[in-house]
Structure 1
């Protein structure tokens, strides 16, 4: 790859491609520099270090996923919207495993403020609009969906379901159905004296 025309955007793009090929944990500035056929030191004018590069890849992935989520959930409600949301995350993780993995690492406060993370929350809340949930339950429901979907995808990527039946795809459908049922019948009168254990 030619050395001319290196920009922060191109550098992050190459890093994202590398992450999908070898895993985000193996992405370094030195390896990206080899892709550009330049010395590692020449990249420091574009990105501070490998951690900043990984954060840039995460920001790129969050934007790409948010764009896809908006399309997948537009005009849908209830289970259809929920499935559109969940399937978009899973499809993206299958197509871009390194980029998806980059989003699982907490961002710095500065990066988080500049990220499309809030769009993910807003899009999930839009899905929740198809259910009769009270506003105060929305944060809990957003966290439930996010942790369930991302947890399944992460375990699947690690081969956690590869050696047992039924196929992961069957469990995925069952989980979407279960989430839909829970969101449809969310408890509306929590016991104020109940203590979480």
Structure 2
């Protein structure tokens, strides 16, 4: 019998909240059952297993992040679009550390192709159109932006910048300016 009030969507959202609280690696069906004060077996009417839960949280996180980035990009181009994209990405990672970690989950190819990850790639390429990059430079730029943004927010979340008097926001702005300069110079080639 399915417990009244439990739905797959409600469980996934609660799992995402749990991920933000305790870390994505700690999210399991058992932990979620404790949160709802129900037996683990009662959740299997909605979820296959912990991997299914983790995949659904990853898909939710990718969708949320894509929505926030799309809102931030609306009406922007060039450096302004790059900065808005970067800020939305960083802000999401700071507000939702567990969900951000979930968004990094490696998905099987079929799931990945149907996920909001495709929207992320499309939005990144839309920003890069403002820099007039041809292939393969555009693909290199997509990888560079993803690597730099992910690396920075991961180091920042781990406290990697707490030992210096320089404000991390100043470094972030310097990085965005540098990326903009690199992209403009590559387009000139």
- Return structure 1 stretches of 4+ with deviation > 3 angstroms: none
Distance across 1 between alignment mates of 2:136 and 2:22? 42
Higher helix share: 2
Q: Post-superposition shift, 1:22?
A: 1.0
1:105 partnered with 2:105:
yes
1:168 partnered with 2:171:
no
DSSP-derived class of the 1:34 partner:
helix
What does residue 80 of structure 2 align with? 80
1:12 partnered with 2:12:
yes
What does residue 148 of structure 2 align with? 148
Distance across 2 between alignment mates of 1:23 and 1:187? 40
Q: Post-superposition shift, 1:187?
A: 6.6
1:128 partnered with 2:128:
yes
The aligned length equals: 187
Distance across 1 between alignment mates of 2:77 and 2:39? 51
Query: Which of 35-44 and 180-189 deviates more?
Result: 180-189
Seen in structure 2, the aligned counterparts of structure 1 residues 78 and 187 have a Cα distance that, compared at 3 Å, is closer
Unaligned runs of 5+ in 2: none
C-alpha offsets along residues 23-81 of structure 1, whole Å, 9 cap, x if unaligned?
11111111111222210111112112112211111100100011111111111111100
Seen in structure 2, the aligned counterparts of structure 1 residues 75 and 135 have a Cα distance that, compared at 3 Å, is farther
Distance across 2 between alignment mates of 1:41 and 1:89? 36
DSSP-derived class of the 2:186 partner:
coil
Distance across 1 between alignment mates of 2:188 and 2:51? 43
Q: TM (normalized to structure 2)? A: 0.94
What does residue 89 of structure 2 align with? 89
Q: TM (normalized to structure 1)? A: 0.90
Tell me if the contact between 2:69 and 2:88 (Cα under 8 Å) persists in the aligned partners. yes
- Equivalent residues in 2 for 1:2-41 (5 A)? 3-41=3-41
CA RMSD of aligned residues (A): 1.4
What does residue 177 of structure 1 align with? 177
Distance across 2 between alignment mates of 1:133 and 1:109? 27
1:157 partnered with 2:157:
yes
